[in-house]
Each structure stands twice: as C-alpha cells, then as structure tokens.
Amino acid sequence: MNPVLSVAGLAKRYVDGSAERVVLAEVSLEVGPGEILAVCGPSGSGKSTLLSIVAGLVLPDAGLIELTTPEGTLRIDGLSDAARADVRRRQLGYVFQFFNLVPTLTVRENVLLPLELTGRGHLRAAALQRLADLGMDDRLDDFPENLSGGERQRTAIARALAHEPVLVLADEPTGNLDGGNANLVTDLLWREVRAQGAALLLATHNEAVAARADHVLRLGAGAV
C-alpha cells in the first residue's frame, strides 16, 4: 500500500542575525491510509514546524515531501503558493490546540466551510451526520464562544474530516483539555480518521496519546 504522506531528508533552519538555529535535520517519515503517526518531543523540538512544512505553509531548506491523492502524487515542496493553498484546501484537514474554529461561524457553518471551499456540496449530509455522531447535533446553531473546550475540538474534528481529506494534521489537539475530555477527543479522532481511511499526523508531547498511535516519531533538537 502506497503511503499517503512520504517525507524524506527534511531539513529546516532559521537564521536570526548571526545566529543559526537548526529546527529539523534529516527527518523522514511515512504514513499510510488509516494510519496514525504521532510526532513526539519537547517544546522547541520542531513538531509544529514539521506540520507547517507538510501543510505547505513553510518551505523546507532540503528534503522531499510527497502526498498521494486520488488525483496522483504531489511534491508539496515543489508547488507554487496557490497550488499549495489548493492542496491544503482539498487534501488536508486540521485540528489545533487553540483557535480551531472561525468565531463568526456557527458549529454547522464551521463544518460546512471546507465543503464550500472545495465545492464538495454532496458531502454535506455526511458531514452533518458526523457532527451528530460526535454528539454535536443539538449545538449546530451555536457559535464557538458558547461551546466548551471539548465541544470545540469535536467540532474541529468534524470540520477536519468534512471534505474527506487524505491527510489530517493535528497539533496538540488535547493540549487544552482535561484528562477526561482529552481521552474522549482522542477516541473520536482515532475513530473518525480510521473510519474515513485518512492518514493522521499528530504532534503531541503527551506520551499517553502518543502511545495509542500506530507509529511514533521522536524528535529531539530537530533530529529523529
């Protein structure tokens, strides 16, 4: 089975004046459909940078990033800004620790936003059904400010999967939740990603969460 995401020899450094800081060095990984890869490491180890590079928000200094989609395999690091934005729009889903939802859109509207952006209106019923499965069917017309942390993350999971992306990126999705809610959100994320057959690249410093992943990539000072 071909991997959904294939990263090889990735490197990234930042230059601040005369000082140079290596964030990522020789990072390679693969994630297949329905697989969950947890990227672990302390603060500053380069987890978020890795996710940003995979998302095409930051370009690497070296390395190769390939994404296999139903339309073919794309080298993300070789695409233009507009093409990378299109990849994010159509092929990727996101769950973050904070600022997961657009504050001026309701729960329903937040989940339907990726469908509108990708023109995949036919997935509307399935997206709303997923919201109901996540226990959010009575909060559809609420705005994010009226939701609890757990409810926001459940909505974010529904939003991340609404347009059926091939890869979901999650950056500390349980970092802002208490233990009970963190477990619940993790369960839901795992369940939905696997049900959809998407790949999940998860950045976390929570060993308990990482332990539930199919594979774990440990980063320390930018290196595996």
Residues that bind other proteins (CB under 8 A): 55, 57, 81-82, 85-90, 92, 94, 96, 98-106, 109, 112-114, 116-118, 141
Q: How far is the CB of 117 from other proteins (least distance, A)?
A: 6
- Residue (41 or 144) nearer to other proteins, CB: 144
Closest distance to other proteins from the beta carbon of 108 (Å): 10
Residue 156: helix, strand or coil by DSSP?
A: helix
Strand 19-31 vs strand 5-16: parallel, antiparallel, or unpaired? antiparallel
Residue whose C-alpha is closest to residue 201's, from 152, 165, 155, 150 = 165
Non-local CB neighbours of 138 within 8 Å, separated by 6+ positions: none
Element (H, E) at 210: helix 207-211
Task: Give whichever of 42 and 119 is closer to other proteins, judged by the CB atom.
Answer: 119
Taking the complex as a whole, the smallest distance from the CB of residue 104 to other proteins amounts, in Å, to 4
Q: How far is the CB of 138 from other proteins (least distance, A)?
A: 15
Residues 6+ apart with CB under 8 A from 3: 30, 31, 32, 68, 199
Torsion of CA 68, 69, 74, 80, to 10 degrees: -140
Residue type, 78: G
Q: How far is the CB of 113 from other proteins (least distance, A)?
A: 5
Q: Whose Cβ is closer to other proteins: residue 117's or residue 195's?
A: 117
Cβ atoms of 2 and 34 within 8 Å: the answer is: no
Q: Cβ 89 to other proteins, closest distance in Å?
A: 2
Residue closer to other proteins (CB basis): 96 or 130: 96
Q: Which is nearer to other proteins, 3 or 114 (CB)?
A: 114
Q: Which is nearer to other proteins, 38 or 162 (CB)?
A: 162
Cβ-count burial of 104 within 10 angstroms (0-12 exposed, 13-18 middle, 19+ buried)?
A: exposed
Do 211 and 40 contact (CB within 8 A), yes or no? no
